[in-house]
Amino acid sequence: MHDDPRLATIRAYHQRTKHHLERYAAGPKSLDWEAQPAAFRRWRGTRCHALPRTSPELAIPWSSLDRARPAAPFDVDRLSRMLRLSTAITAWKQYGHARWALRAHPSSGNLHPTETWVLAYRVEGLADGLYHYQNEDHSVEWRAGTLAAADRPGLWLGFTSITWREAWKYGERAFRYCQLDLGHVLAAVAHAAALHGWRPRLLRLEHAELAHCLGTDRADDFAGVESEEAEVIVALHAPEAGPVPMPPLHWDEWSGLPALLDPKPMYRWPVIEEVAAATRGCLPPARGGVSGGERPLPLRATTTANELADPPATRVILQRRSAQAFDGRSVMPGAVFRRILGALLPGGSPVWRLWDVPPRVHPLLMLHRVEALAPGLYVLPRSEDGVSSLGAALRQEFEWVSADDTLPLYRLLAADAQRTARTLSCHQDIAADAAFTLLFAAAFDTPLADNPAAYRHLHWEAGMIGHCATLAAEAAGWRGTGIGCFFDDIDHEILGLADSHYQVIYHYAVGMALEDARITTLPAYG
Ligand SMILES: Cc1cc2nc3c(=O)[nH]c(=O)nc-3n(C[C@H](O)[C@H](O)[C@H](O)COP(=O)(O)O)c2cc1C
């Protein structure tokens, strides 16, 4: 297993795409913003089915998001709302002549490499088939019909990445960003599914099957245009019924051709195709399966809902934004802090039912302004094994003082970490002005040796944790921002991570956002 040549490719990719204080990972020397790849991909020469534009709002308070509720039937109205709350546009922003769309999930550079696919079988109001979701005008574009028949209705969402959208701006490091984005998307899907009483389940498909299901293996269709990388399919189902196990595999009557996004690419980053190929593979078995691995920590009660603001969950989802700046002053109340951290732990959010893989990513916190907690470096291991393996991997001088009665939160070091957080996060002020900045440490060597596809899955897990933080913060009137730009090995040096047993793969900042009053907001679908 250890001589698997894919491992060498992945390790080399990870190493060469690290940012260093004196040198950033390879990327374009200049950018022509006028020539940015198209943000939306059209499928030409096929039928387009407009989805209902009724308001996706529901009167379910944030604190009840994860409560059991009867599963909604599969129909086109529910599908429309599910998409509005997960991967649709949520607003247009305008500043001067510039106009850009925001979606229910964040994306590195707002470049949105993830494409959404709908696989529908006996969904009322929609013919059976495979559809591309067209976020731009909230419609679905027909790709193929099905010859298969199942005993009951089925609905699946599939996801692909167009890596060029990210690579255009970020060069070689872009593959990492595509995977982090996908984690945010999966977490958004889990939240939206919970509101419909649906259980989302990840399909464990080999890559060839996955690509076949989503049509990305049809090389002739993609001739001369940017390819799409098949990532994952999520089955939605009523908890008691279990999923229709597989989407139809016998597609018929293919139609439509993908539009070209960038007619004149100025650069090429072949390592992205190499690492994509090396990381194709199945998800690991579900928690409790044969290699159940790390035991999640039982979640202890954190705060009761009535101590905190409790807005409708759909409003939280639709108004989510990344902070572009934090005020650098506000002190986060302890109840808000605990609610956010609680959501990151297995059991603390509907996301951790979708992500049925043992926890392998653990947040470290650079805490600047949180009520009753000394500024400094903290750790929140998300499993019992995480406590011991991080204890062995992190700097041995760290204190490991229990910092909370309800959460597995440990103080490693008391210190003013604002300047360090800024420096580590590519000198970005958001990391210092936040109430706290998170560094996500992923177990690296062991998961990769078990399954090279873990390189993607670890980034998904980090993206999901970030998304949980963002939505829990948003619900309480605070905001989060992903930080994909950080100096990898300086993180490791500070944390005392001497080898690649653990690697930091994402940063996140949470604080009180400052709004830019010059930017106006326009509705998602007018
Ligand atoms: C993986 C990832 C990395 C990001 N990295 C940064 C970053 O380094 N600095 C920053 O200010 N914002 C960063 N962001 C935030 C994006 O810029 C933001 O999501 C995007 O502009 C869309 O805005 P919205 O989240 O408000 O919809 C990142 C977001 C993601 C998902």
Judge whether residue 399 has pLDDT over 80: yes
Distance, in Å, from the CA atom of 16 to the CA atom of 422, rounded to the nearest integer, reads 22
Long-range residue pairs from 109-113, CB within 8 A, at least 24 positions apart, any chain: 109/166, 109/169, 109/170, 109/177, 111/39, 111/165, 111/166, 111/168, 111/169, 112/39, 112/165, 112/181, 113/161, 113/162, 113/163, 113/164, 113/165, 113/166, 113/174, 113/177, 113/178, 113/181
Distance, in Å, from the CA atom of 86 to the CA atom of 158, rounded to the nearest integer, reads 12
Q: What is the CA angle 234-237-240, rounded to 5?
A: 140
Residues 368-395 pLDDT 10s: 999 999 999 999 999 999 999 999 999 9
- The residue whose CA has the least distance to atom 11 of ligand 1 is 324
The pair of structure tokens assigned to 204 is: 């464990």
The pair of structure tokens assigned to 131 is: 């559809």
Q: What is the CA angle 383-498-382, rounded to 5?
A: 10
How far away, in angstroms, is 232 Cα from ligand 1 center?
A: 22
Judge whether residue 248 has pLDDT over 70: no
The confidence score (pLDDT) of residue 249 equals: 66
Task: Give the position, in ligand 1's atom list, of the atom nearest the Cα of 481.
Answer: 15
- Report the pLDDT averaged over residues 298-311: 59
Pocket of ligand 1 (CB under 6 A): 102, 106-110, 177, 180-181, 184, 321-322, 428, 430, 481-485
Lowest mean pLDDT among 75-79, 147-151, 270-274: 147-151
Instruction: State percent of the chain over pLDDT 70.
Output: 94
How far away, in angstroms, is 358 Cα from ligand 1 center?
A: 27
The confidence score (pLDDT) of residue 293 equals: 37
DSSP state of 264: S
How far away, in angstroms, is 321 Cα from ligand 1 center?
A: 9
The confidence score (pLDDT) of residue 2 equals: 57
The confidence score (pLDDT) of residue 489 equals: 98
The confidence score (pLDDT) of residue 393 equals: 98
378 φψ region: left (φ > 0), alpha (ψ -120 to 50), beta (else): beta
How far away, in angstroms, is 485 Cα from ligand 1 center?
A: 10
How far away, in angstroms, is 239 Cα from ligand 1 center?
A: 33
What pTM was estimated for this model as a whole?
Answer: 0.96
Distance, in Å, from the CA atom of 156 to the CA atom of 153, rounded to the nearest integer, reads 10
Ordered by where they begin, the domains of the chain are 31-278 (3.40.109.10), 305-511 (3.40.109.10)
Judge whether residue 242 has pLDDT over 90: no
Residues 309-343 pLDDT 10s: 899 999 999 999 999 999 999 999 999 999 999 99
The torsion angle over the Cα atoms of residues 121, 126, 127 and 131, rounded to 10 degrees, is: -80
Instruction: State percent of the chain over pLDDT 90.
Output: 87
How far away, in angstroms, is 118 Cα from ligand 1 center?
A: 26
Distance, in Å, from the CA atom of 522 to the CA atom of 526, rounded to the nearest integer, reads 8
The confidence score (pLDDT) of residue 303 equals: 44
Ordered strands of the 98-103 beta sheet: 98-103, 89-95, 520-522
The confidence score (pLDDT) of residue 176 equals: 98
- Report the pLDDT averaged over residues 144-172: 91
CA-based nearest residue to 514, from 381, 354, 324: 324
Find all residues with CB under 8 Å of 114, minimum gap 6, and list them.
87, 107, 159, 160, 161, 178, 181, 182, 185, 231
- Give me the DSSP letters along 466-506: HHHHHHHHHHTT-EEEEE----HHHHHHHHT--STTEEEEE
The pair of structure tokens assigned to 278 is: 């090396």
Give me the chain's average pLDDT, please: 93
Distance, in Å, from the CA atom of 174 to the CA atom of 132, rounded to the nearest integer, reads 23
How far away, in angstroms, is 334 Cα from ligand 1 center?
A: 26
- Report the pLDDT averaged over residues 277-306: 62
Q: What is the CA angle 196-199-202, rounded to 5?
A: 130
Task: Give the position, in ligand 1's atom list, of the atom nearest the Cα of 324.
Answer: 11
Task: Give the position, in ligand 1's atom list, of the atom nearest the Cα of 184.
Answer: 31
Ligand 1 pocket test, pick from 108, 326, 430 with the greatest ligand atom count within 8 Å of Cβ, gives 108
Find all residues with CB under 8 Å of 258, minimum gap 6, and list them.
41, 42, 43, 44, 221, 222, 225, 226, 228
Distance, in Å, from the CA atom of 68 to the CA atom of 195, rounded to the nearest integer, reads 9
496: phi then psi, degrees, rounded to nearest 5: 80, 20
Ligand 1 pocket test, pick from 422, 474, 481 with the greatest ligand atom count within 8 Å of Cβ, gives 481
How far away, in angstroms, is 97 Cα from ligand 1 center?
A: 21
- Report the pLDDT averaged over residues 403-423: 97
Decide which of 265 and 89 is more confident: 89
Distance, in Å, from the CA atom of 284 to the CA atom of 314, rounded to the nearest integer, reads 32
The pair of structure tokens assigned to 81 is: 């709302």
Paired strand residues for 155: 120, 236
The confidence score (pLDDT) of residue 35 equals: 84
The pair of structure tokens assigned to 45 is: 């020469």
The confidence score (pLDDT) of residue 294 equals: 43
How far away, in angstroms, is 356 Cα from ligand 1 center?
A: 26
Task: Give the position, in ligand 1's atom list, of the atom nearest the Cα of 486.
Answer: 8
Task: Give the position, in ligand 1's atom list, of the atom nearest the Cα of 425.
Answer: 8
Decide which of 303 and 89 is more confident: 89
- The residue whose CA has the least distance to atom 7 of ligand 1 is 483
Task: Give the position, in ligand 1's atom list, of the atom nearest the Cα of 426.
Answer: 8
CA-based nearest residue to 115, from 272, 259, 298: 259
